[in-house]
Amino acid sequence: MDKKTSNFKSIGIVGLGLIGGSLGLDLQKLGYQVHGLVHRSSTAKRAQERGLAQIISTDPKILNTCSIIILALPLEQLLEPDPQLINELPMEAVITDVGSVKTPILEVWQKLHPNFVGSHPMAGTNKEGVEAGIENLFKGKAWVSTPEANTNLEAVEIIKKLAISLGCNWITTNANIHDQAVALISHLPVLISAALLKTLSSEEEESVISIAKVLASSGFADTTRIGGGNPQLGSSMIANNTSAVLRFLNSYKESLNKLEETIISQNWSSLKEELEKTKDIRPDFLNEK
| Site residues (CB under 8 A) for its own copies, limited to 194-213 | 194-203, 205, 207-209, 211-213
User: How far, in Å, CA of 113 to CA of 13, rounded?
Assistant: 16
Q: Which residues contact 179 (CB under 8 A, 6 or more apart)?
A: 101, 102, 103, 241, 244
Stretch that binds its own copies, among 83-91, 106-114, 148-156, 253-261 (CB under 8 A): 253-261
Q: Which string of x and - marks every residue 141-160 that binds its own copies (by CB under 8 A)?
A: xx-x----------------
Q: How far apart are the first and last CA of the chain?
A: 45
Q: Which residue from 99, 247, 227 is spatially nearest to 183, judged by alpha carbons?
A: 247
Please state the closest distance from residue 106 (CB atom) to its own copies, in A.
16
Compare residues 87 and 232 and give the one whose CB is closer to its own copies.
232
* Distance between CA atoms of residues 212 and 221, nearest Å: 12
Please tell me whether residue 164 binds its own copies under the rule CB under 8 A.
Answer: no
Should residue 228 be labelled a site residue for its own copies when binding is judged by CB under 8 A? yes
> What is the closest distance, in whole angstroms, from the C-beta atom of residue 150 to its own copies in the complex?
21
55 binds its own copies (CB under 8 A): no
Beta bridge partners of 170: 143
Please report whether residue 134 would count as binding its own copies according to CB under 8 A.
Answer: no
CB of 137 to its own copies, least distance (A): 12
Q: Does 249 bind its own copies (CB under 8 A)?
A: yes
Instruction: For residue 202, give every residue at least 6 positions away whose Cβ sits within 8 Å of its Cβ, in sequence order, or none.
Output: none
Measure the CA–CA gap between 16 and 50, rounded to whole angstroms. 11
Print the binding letters for residues 70-109 with its own copies: x by CB under 8 A, - otherwise. Answer: ----------------------------------------
Q: Does 19 bind its own copies (CB under 8 A)?
A: no
Spatial neighbors of 12 by CB under 8 A, at least 6 apart, are: 34, 35, 36, 37, 62, 63, 66, 68, 69, 70, 93
